[in-house]
Structures are given as structure tokens and as C-alpha cells.
Amino acid sequence: MDAVSTKDTTTEARLTASPDLTGVATSVGGTLLVRAPDTGEVVGEVPDLDAAGVAALVARARTAQPGWAGLGVDGRAEVIERFRRLLWRRRGEVLHSMQAESGKLYEDALRDLAMLLDVAHYWTRVAGPLLADEPLRTRGLMGFGRRSVRTFEPHGVFGMIGPWNLPVVLSIGDALPALMAGNTVVCKPSEVTPLATLLAADLFVAAGGPPDVLLVATGGGRTGEALVDQVDAVHFTGSVATGRAVAARAGQRLIPCSLELGGKDPAIVLADADLKRAARGVVSYGLLVGGQACIAVERVYVQRDVHERFVELVVEQVRSLRLGPAGGPGVVDVAGMIHPPQVDIVEAHVRDAVERGARVLTGGRRGSVEASYEPTVLTDVDHTMRCMREETFGPVIPIMAVRDVDEAVRLANDSEYGLAASVWTGDPARGRAIARRLQVGTVTVNDAVMHAALPELPMGGWKASGLGGRGGPDAMRWACRQRVVQVLRLAGHPDLYWLPYRPRSTRNLERLFGLLYGR
């Protein structure tokens, strides 16, 4: 894909040098060079926007907003439906762009695209009823004779800041409810993976989307800061540390800010589980996108009676997987890291675990593919180890034996994170009961991860895993400002509460309050 050509349509070519960039993207004379993580080859270049560049983009989005809102829900839905169909027709380019900048598997890119299409379809279908004025019933005496309605209005310009692991879903995908609500949007993808987001924004225009409604601000962390300084609301997906910085900045401006942050998702495997299926599920979801997914299984607690057998099954599965550079459909199971410096974190977690007494049953070293780590299974792990407490975000499955359900629940909750969890059991009712004891935003029984691909479901973290969230009807409410309009139906009569006060009317009012509220 010709990333430079996208500058003219979606980004402002205002460039500044950025001395503090790390990782695969490098800034040369104010232009970010985007590199394939597995080969180091430059696969695109994009502007590294400074604060003035971001302000100019947001100003354009602000000018475009009333026209976009003026299209009405049906007009906006029509544009987004055309965009959805074009994304599918041009999927070859879109998948190529996703893979080139991230080195992710064909299957991972395909799933990202499918999620984006489904999200688009969902919001175009449900936005109308969700944005319609909502009559509100009131019960109290003070609401007597008054009719109240809640209306939903766009914030104006929405900022979407996204991470490098699922760049298109977590920038353009999260932009869709905001767009359907009548906001214009400026996305800030990670400097590591900006190309597919730029391509998608170009396709929005090619599908008939009005100019400046969906824009992309490319650059690093400073570009993200500048975006928070300019927009009317911000949705952020990324690490806890950056999330805190974004929330503090948004707090200074008192703009709405929702945060989807990191996770350390536990899987609890009970003795009555179908162990073969549970092992396969834990491996698939522990190694999803090479473990670089916020909701990947990051730690496993297995009842002691079945621990040995379960570990054997997991190791057998992991050993059968093919690690290699990503290619076409079905050729490889695990690829390298999207952001090469992440390999150092994975390596440090495994080293720390081994130094504290963990055993490596398979993997445990860098892979032969550039910027990769071999899929790894650890046992004899405990909560003194980084791999059980900090987000590893790599292909590591640490498995810990537990006495019983109580111990599994206690350890699962012993975390600063609270994104999602899974319970594997032969008894779904028991799984549901355990789910209610887990301090996380989503629990799946005999499954994991796929809930996040369903736009109907709200997704949000507890504890340090976030505030607010995405998905489900709540996301549309979040994309709007709300206004209550109350109209007095009995205009012309003095109100019970109006001045001046008289002893008799006050006593009557008191009696009425007693009858209504005091019994």
C-alpha cells in the first residue's frame, strides 16, 4: 500500500522531528518509517504529527461535524454500510496492509477484519432506536404535570487512541458507534502499526464518506497527548500506564474519557472439565495473536487432581504448533512479536520465573524467526513471579496447581487487573456460580476471548483494566452527550412550590409528602 499517498486525504503533512521514538517505527526528518517486525523492511512512511498538526486535523473534523450529524442516522448508516462492503471487496489490500506492518498471521488479520465488518453492521442496525428520544417516567409529586424526555447529542470531535496489537479494530472499529452518533472522529493508531488504519480511513472516503469525518493522526505518544488536548471526548485502548496519563490529561480538561487497558486473564480448569478441550482452548487463547491480546489467557489454575494430565495435554498441543514468519492461510500457527521490544519483556518474565523455581516444559527461548519467542509452557509457578502478576503479552502459558475452587478464585482475584476470565468445567451451572465470584468484566465458561468479537456484548475492565468500555448499547450512550428536556403540561397554574410561601399551603404539602413518602 502506498502510505504516503494517504497523507493527502487523511492526514496533515505537518512534520516535526521526534527524538524519543522507540521500537520498529523510526522518525526521520519528521516522517515515521514503519517497518515489518520480522524483516525490518520499511513498509510505509507516515507523518509524525506535532501539536499544531493535530490541532489542524481536529479543526477540520470540527468543521465537518455539523454536516455529518445533519445526514441523520439513516444517512450515516448508508455511508457506513457502503464502507463495510468496500472493506470486504478490497480485503486483499486491507489484509496485506495489516500483515505487512504487524507480521501477524493471515488468520489473525482475517479475524480483525471480520470483527470490524460485524461491528459496522451492528451499529448501523441498532443506532436508530438507541439515538431516538427516550420518554422518561417520573413517580414523585415534584414530577406531577411534567413530561420528561432524554435526548442524545454527539460530543463533537471524538479522539480514538489505539494500540499496536489490533490496530484497525481498536481504532476504526471503536470509531463506528461514535460516527453513528453523529460525531466526527480522529484516530491515533500506534506509531508501530498506522498503515491499515490509514488505508481504512481512505476507503471510508472512497465509499462516499464525506471528507474530514474520519481522520487519522499519525505519530507517537506526543501526537496522542496533543489529540487529548484538542478533542471533545476520548476513547483509549492501551496499557495501564498510558491509560492513567490519558485519564489525567482528559481530567484536566474535564472531557469524557473511557479506557480499555491491560489484562492478566486467568483460566480456571476444574477436575470435572473435558481436559482435552480445555487444554486446546487454553493453548489457542493463550497463544492468540502470539499472546499479544489483552484478553489472551495469561495464567492458568488447575485443580491438583488433574494438573499433571492437563499439563501433559497442553505441552503436547504446544509442541505440535508451527512457529514461523506469517504467510497465507493455514501455513503457520504462531508468528513473531508485532512490536519487537516486547520479546525482551517476555524473556524477562520467563527468566524471572525460572530464577524463582519455575520449570520450562517447552519453549523458554527466543525463536529462530526474527523478533519471536517460542511458545512456552511453565509449571511450578506462583504469585511471587512476574509471569503471574504482570501482563506478559507474549506466547507464555504458566500453569499453577490449586487445591480447590476457593483457592483458584482467590488467586484469580489476586491481581491489579480485572479484564476477563474463563472457567472450564463439565457443569455449566457451577461455572456460572464461580463466574459471579470473579472480579472481572467478562467471564466465559468453557470458552474464552471470543466474547470480545461480539459487538452486542459490553466489554469493560474492572480494577486497573479500565473505565467505561466498548460494545453493547452502552457504547452508543457513551458516544453521546445526554440532555433531559422537561415540559410542564399544566402551564398557566401556579406551582405548589412557588413563592410566596403560606402556612396553610406548606402544611398541606407536608401532609401530602407524608401520605406519599412517609408510610
Q: Which residues bind ligand NAP (CB under 6 A)?
A: 161-166, 170, 188, 190-192, 220-221, 224-225, 228, 237-239, 242, 245-246, 260-263, 294, 391, 393, 419, 461, 466
Active site residue 260: yes
Catalytic option among 260, 298, 374, 391: 260
Distance of CA 119 to the CA centre of its chain: 13
- Decide whether 86 or 296 has the Cβ nearer to ligand NAP: 296
- Decide whether 131 or 452 has the Cβ nearer to ligand NAP: 452
Edge-to-edge, what's the strand order for the sheet holding 157-161?
214-216, 184-188, 157-161, 233-237, 257-260, 466-467
In the complex, the smallest distance separating the C-beta of residue 296 from ligand NAP, rounded to whole angstroms, is 9
Cα–Cα distances in angstroms (integers) from residue 439 to residues 266, 402, 411, 422, in the given order = 11, 18, 11, 12
Catalytic option among 12, 225, 257, 294: 294
Other C-beta atoms closer than 10 Å to the C-beta of 70 total 10
Beta partners for 117? none
- Decide whether 182 or 340 has the Cβ nearer to ligand NAP: 340
Active site residue 93: no
DSSP annotation of 172: I
Rg of the chain on CA atoms, in Å: 26
- List alpha helices for 332-446, DSSP H: 342-355, 386-389, 405-413, 428-435
3-state secondary structure of 58: helix
394 within 8 A of 294, measured Cβ to Cβ: no
140 within 8 A of 167, measured Cβ to Cβ: no
In the complex, the smallest distance separating the C-beta of residue 217 from ligand NAP, rounded to whole angstroms, is 10
475 within 8 A of 177, measured Cβ to Cβ: yes
- Decide whether 467 or 509 has the Cβ nearer to ligand NAP: 467
Per-residue H/E/C for 489-513: CCCCCCCCCCCCCCHHHHHHHHHHH
- Decide whether 260 or 333 has the Cβ nearer to ligand NAP: 260
- Decide whether 101 or 191 has the Cβ nearer to ligand NAP: 191
- Decide whether 17 or 485 has the Cβ nearer to ligand NAP: 17
DSSP annotation of 249: H
- Cα separation, 280 vs 168, whole angstroms: 28
Residue in the shown chain whose Cβ atom is closest to ligand NAP: 224
In the complex, the smallest distance separating the C-beta of residue 463 from ligand NAP, rounded to whole angstroms, is 12
Cα–Cα distances in angstroms (integers) from residue 338 to residues 47, 108, 285, 370, 510, in the given order = 21, 12, 17, 11, 68
3-state secondary structure of 329: coil
Catalytic residues: 260, 294
